[in-house]
Amino acid sequence: MNIILMGPPGAGKGTQAAKLVKEFGLTQISTGDLFRKAHREQTSIGVISDYFSKFGRLVPDDFTNEMVYDYLKENMNNFGNGFILDGYPRTILQARELEYFEESLGFKIDAVINLDVDFDVLKKRLSGRRTCKNCGATFHIMYKPPKVEGVCDNCGGELYQREDETEAAVKVRLSTYEGQTRPLIDYYKMKGMLTNINGDQSMDDVYSDIKKCLEAL
Ligand code: AP5
Ligand code: ZN
């Protein structure tokens, strides 16, 4: 089972993907995480992506598509029960390119799940998020606090606030979402692939709705 998990910044894609990985043995492919890893390793794509990401803008399609294609091609036999695309595609051009990848690499996207959350809620979620420097796990100072402040529950790593979580960058991320990514909702609706889920519920209730959708498949 291969699925696309869509939604605005802070909608809970990473949170829900982590639950799906644990229960269903799926592999999470987060383009945001891949870019951040490339940045830490100072590869050329890492340097380029950081230039756009830190201001809240999308990395240009050509770079993003190439990175995703290479990743899929290299790992096609290691995805276990399938994969979750978290944060890709984010433009119509990326969605079209993904269709080309399906043909050339021989896989199929089974469903597109869209997490719907109001912008006011998103702002609160993004400003309170803390991410583990070591394993990438995410927490929230109010909604999912770590047991010890500033320390990851999973691995003991240090928690930090991402560079693109400043008020200015969040503003750009939300307007970029409106302009470039929201049109994908209609794109996948017209293809009959989209399930909309209310992302403004508790993490467990959102997860239970996602599970119902996947079980129906
Ligand atoms: P990326 O890392 O993908 O960021 P994003 O889409 O903005 O998503 P986030 O990771 O911020 O949020 P999320 O939906 O995963 O929410 P989370 O579960 O953490 O991308 C970063 C950048 O990389 C982009 O800006 C762009 O520059 C570049 N990029 C990536 N993909 C690209 C692409 N395809 N094309 C071009 N550029 C690309 O939850 C957020 C917080 O809320 C957490 O603290 C969590 O604990 C809390 N929370 C989650 N669910 C709930 C709930 N139900 N109730 C209460 N709190 C909750
Ligand atoms: Zn950790």
pLDDT in tens, 55-104: 999 999 999 999 999 999 999 989 989 999 999 999 999 999 999 999 99
Instruction: Say which CATH class 3-118+168-216 falls into.
Output: alpha beta
Residue 166: per-residue pLDDT: 86
* Lookup result for tokens 């996207």: 109
Residue 217 clears pLDDT 90, i.e. is over it = no
Q: What is the pTM of this model?
A: 0.94
pLDDT in tens, 122-173: 999 999 999 999 998 999 999 999 999 999 999 999 999 988 888 889 999 9
Which amino acids bring their CB within 6 angstroms of ligand 1?
7, 9-15, 30-32, 35, 52-53, 56-59, 64, 87-88, 90, 94, 125, 128-129, 138-140, 143-144, 164, 173, 202-203, 206
Mean pLDDT of the chain: 95
Q: Flag whether pLDDT at 109 surpasses 90.
A: yes
By three-state DSSP, how is residue 136 classified?
coil
pLDDT at 107: 96
Percentage above 70 pLDDT, the chain? 100
For the chain, give every domain's residue range: 3-118+168-216
Q: Which helix (H) or strand (E) holds 72?
A: helix 61-75
Does 182 carry a binding-site annotation? Answer: no
Q: Which atom of ligand 1 is nearest the CA belonging to 11?
A: 14
> Which pLDDT value is given to residue 80?
86
CA distance 168 to 142: 22
Catalytic option among 162, 182, 189, 211: 162
As to burial, measured by CB atoms within 10 angstroms (0-12 exposed, 13-18 middle, 19+ buried), residue 181 is: buried
Rounded alpha-carbon distances, angstroms, from residue 163 to 10, 31, 67: 14, 16, 22
Cβ atoms of residues 123 and 148 within 8 Å: no
